[in-house]
Amino acid sequence: MKHIVILISGAGSNMAAIVRAAKREQWAERMGARVAAVISNRPGAAGLEAARQAGIATAVVDHTAYASREAFDAALMAAIDAHAPGGRPALVALAGFMRILTPGFVAHYAGRLVNIHPSLLPAFPGLNTHQRAIDMGCRFAGATVHRVTAELDHGDILAQAVVPVLPDDTADTLAARVLTQEHLIYPRAVAALLRARPNAA
């Protein structure tokens, strides 16, 4: 079985979209894949309860309890790998996980670590993507699923979705329009990666 571990920091709507797709499309039966765990760096993340209600194991690795980014990432790696046979999951999906990861963490999951970012990368890496797109007068915005590298919001692009920027858009209205597309492309990209992996390792 190919195990997927999803990392969240908040509501986890993209996590929930992946979980729904896994059930609806019968990933376990068709691809030998399952969402094994949802892990948050914030104890109060609403997505944890949503995962529990879906019958998925959850864990918290509170970043405020660690003196360094490296110490936190080491603890996070241990928590992730505890949920995979052989000590490493097939995929680790960042779904609104608001932490910059160390190069050591990224190297540990090389080829297995993916993220969704709310812009059409390479445009607007980092934060405040929607307001930046509006301020620049962009006619289109969107979302990108990409492999994670040590450089923030870089890595091979796996999927993108485009939405129009409307004349009366605010950052919030644009974000909501982009989010509906995120919920479509992220599960599709994850499924495509799982189909490309013949083994659970």
Known catalytic residues are 117
The token pair at 77 is: 């790696």
How far, in Å, are 43, 87, 126, 141, 142 from residue 164 at the CA level?
36, 43, 20, 6, 8
Q: Is 126 exposed, middle or buried (0-12, 13-18, 19+ CB in 10 A)?
A: exposed
- Within 13 Å and on the Cβ side, how many CA atoms surround 192? 13
Q: Give the three-class secondary structure for 196.
A: helix
CA 133 to chain centre: 22
Alpha carbons 27 and 187: distance in angstroms, whole number: 11
**What beta strand segments (E) does 77-156 contain?**
91-94, 113-117, 140-147
